[in-house]
A = this chain, B = another copy of it.
């Protein structure tokens, strides 16, 4: 089975790679040429062992005693995160959240280009939303394929989300970010990220309720 040759990586590790990438961007701007695992750990409130473990996972970067070369490490992590290319993104549902995300300037900076918008509201279809025409959701499958969309962000109401998700999967898209407050089902080869704002807030209410607990990563 193919699984045997696969390597496991945790969501937390991927998240930390993004954190390292941002830290290295800053260090580069500040003029650093090298950085030790100790200093990188200090800045991001991690342990040096954690930093070394994370980075060694992707090959040997650092030199003992000299630390990591900032520019090379940044480039390598950017490559690992897929930030050295442009990604075609489509957004389904141009309501409050969808609209806020279209305006999110960081996306384009990181190479995530919102190319298509979809909605089912006849009053919105055909109108220009911040420079992008809103398309009829009825044409979603064909348009996702034509425009070679790789990532779809779903911000439709919960009741409509699974149907939208199925069409996106049928169009061959392998990465979906879901903001609808509902569990979606996707095939094993599709990566689904659920962005549930209530769950995030529950993290805070948990912490306030259980102040004797220490959060580990």
Are A212 and B7 closer than 8 Å at their CB atoms? yes
Complex CA distance for A215 and B191, rounded to whole angstroms: 9
> A207: CB under 8 A from chain B?
yes
Q: Which of A4-24 contact B (CB under 8 A)?
A: 5-12, 14-15, 17-19, 21-22
> A112: CB under 8 A from chain B?
yes
**Chain A 83-110 near chain B by CB (<8 Å), digits 1 or 0:** 1000101000001110111011011011
Interface size class of A (residues with CB under 8 A): 35 or more
Complex CA distance for A206 and B95, rounded to whole angstroms: 27
Q: Which residues of chain B come closer than 8 Å to A124, judged between CB atoms?
A: none
Interface centre among A7, A17, A191 (most CB of B within 10 A): A191
CB-based nearest B residue for A23:
B183
> A195: CB under 8 A from chain B?
yes
Which of these, B14, B79, B216, contacts A10 with CB under 8 Å?
A: B216
Taking A7-B213, A151-B201 as given, write out 6 further A-B residue pairs in contact, using a Cβ cutoff of 8 Å, ordered by the A residue number. Answer: A8-B213, A9-B214, A82-B205, A96-B104, A106-B181, A109-B198
The 5 A-B residue pairs with the shortest CB-CB distance in the complex, in nearest-first order: A82-B205, A82-B209, A96-B100, A175-B204, A191-B207
